[in-house]
Amino acid sequence: GVVFDACLNAPDWTPLPGAARFIILEVNALPASALQGYALLKTLADSGAFVGVGLLGNAAACDQLLAACKRFLDPAFTRAVYSVAHEDDAFAALAVRMAHEETGLTARYQA
């Protein structure tokens, strides 16, 4: 299942047994956001289920949350957590560069 814009304590969300799970967690600059994010990651790590986690949002907050995971959580779980918070500049540059190339439904890459 796919859940969009769910609260971390959403009572109606139950992961499907045996399904591969990937969570995208947006972290903002408020301390409460990082604390909620860490609580969720700790719960996931303790569950033993394989989960891939992508962190996005405020880069400093994502770095802090990732550092806390590396310090306090199981290394096997932590290897499945990564931050894409610093990728905004690369995606923005690519979008600007490609804007003139994609002019229709049949746009193709040209070197």
- Condensed to tens digits (0 to 9), the pLDDT of residues 3-56 reads 555 555 555 556 666 666 788 888 889 999 889 889 888 888 887 776 788 888
3-state class (DSSP) for residue 101:
coil
Q: Per the domain annotation, does 49 fall within a domain?
A: yes
- Condensed to tens digits (0 to 9), the pLDDT of residues 61-108 reads 999 999 999 999 999 999 999 888 877 665 555 655 555 555 555 555
Residues whose CB falls within 8 Å of the CB of residue 24, separated by 6 or more in sequence, listed in order? 53, 54, 56
Residue with token string 């959403």 = 10
pLDDT at residue 1 in the model: 46
Query: How many distinct structural domains can be found in the chain?
Result: 1
Q: Per the domain annotation, does 109 fall within a domain?
A: no
Q: Per the domain annotation, does 104 fall within a domain?
A: no
State the Cα–Cα distance between residues 8 and 11, nearest whole angstrom: 9
Q: Per the domain annotation, does 103 fall within a domain?
A: no
Question: Could you list the residue range(s) of the whole structural domain that residue 37 is in?
Answer: 21-86
